[in-house]
Structure 1
Amino acid sequence: MGFLWSLFPLKKWDKMIVSLFQVGGSLFALLLWIINFMFPSRITKAASAEFTWQFYVLLLSLLGLVFSTLWNLITLQRKKDNLLS
């Protein structure tokens, strides 16, 4: 995400709003997957390969969210260190 922020210079609050949408979208996808898992429809039972595919997409999305959050924390710490020195 750090590279994307350099392409689109946003203010601090704009970045926070975009991050909230990222978190919200991932949590919403996780909620939909859990509901689909707990209450499977006839279509889901018939197409278990699609269900597995949805799980992998969700997993990659959550991993991307974790890595982007860690990247943002690392760059924030670097900026703090640069300001203190």
Structure 2
Amino acid sequence: MNEYSTAVLNGKIDAISLVLNQVLMTLSPHHAAQIAAGLAAEQEALRLEADDETPEEEIAVQERMLGLYVGLLSAVAQRG
């Protein structure tokens, strides 16, 4: 990697993920459902809108992460 090592990037991603998870857990069920629907649509469109030069691994990781967040938001929406 150029400027940042993989460990540095992973640490930053993990910290952002923890913050984001805490924020998502504070949403109302209605807002969580709205956001889940929007992210599910983004997940579906990801491959269609991907640049031909975008690595497959990058697309697959984005799909997986969006799927995980849709699942988390759906769980928050269900608690209402």
TM, length-normalised to structure 1: 0.48
Higher helix share: 1
Rg: which structure is higher? 1
TM, length-normalised to structure 2: 0.50
